[in-house]
Amino acid sequence: KKPIRLPQGVESITSTSNLFVKHCVKLRQCSSYRHLHGSVVVIGAAPVREILDFRGRLIDRPKVECLFMLENCSIPEGIEHEEIRVVKVNSEVIRKLSGVQSVDSVRVIALLRIPSSFHALSTGLDYEDCRALFPLAHRILVLEGIQDPGNLGTLLRSAVAFRW
């Protein structure tokens, strides 16, 4: 499906009723919608920074479509060198996009294209399906129902530390 894009020239969004905000909220909430549009919402400066650092090692790199940033904030360190479209938003829009009540620590939310090399595994895969997707895999980290982004980061950093 053709991706929904933020119109050119938009530098700020102040309404939680904005169609693009609604699109991003649906991306955050619905796995099938994320896969249909090939995009994901990443909440927080640290996860965005880690993705940008890691993507330098990938052939098929995730592309940052836009960076929602809380008004009156500067671009966080480690992200400022990137050529990313920045859209300023107020605290109500950040709250809506992030899905958290307390937005004190959320100053940045990124919308990223999912690389085509990333695979979502559904139930019902048999042994041959897995061998086709991972022909040289020695170790596979399977994640399901991660509730806290910090837990995801810990799992990924641990996997990298053990050279997975």
Q: 125 is in which domain, residue-wise?
A: 121-163
Residue located via tokens 């994901």 = 40
Query: At 91, which CATH number?
Result: 3.30.1330.30
The residues, ordered by sequence, that sit 6+ positions from 20 with a Cβ below 8 Å of its Cβ are: 4, 6, 10, 13
The total of structural domains in the chain comes to: 2
Q: Which amino acid is at 59?
A: I
Predicted confidence at residue 9, as pLDDT, reads 84
Q: Do 6 and 33 belong to one domain?
A: yes
CB atoms within 10 A of CB 14: 12
Q: Which amino acid is at 129?
A: D
Q: Do 102 and 139 belong to one domain?
A: no
pLDDT per residue rounded down to tens, the chain (164 residues): 566 788 888 899 999 999 999 999 999 999 889 888 888 999 988 888 887 776 666 565 677 889 999 988 888 777 766 678 899 999 999 999 998 877 777 889 999 887 766 655 555 666 676 666 666 666 777 777 777 777 888 888 888 888 77
Per-position b or e across 42-70, b if 16+ CB within 10 A of its CB: bbbbbbbbbbbeeeeeeeebbebbbbbbb
Between CA 40 and CA 107 the distance in angstroms is: 17
CB 85 within 8 A of CB 13: no
Q: Do 97 and 73 belong to one domain?
A: yes
Q: Do 74 and 88 belong to one domain?
A: yes
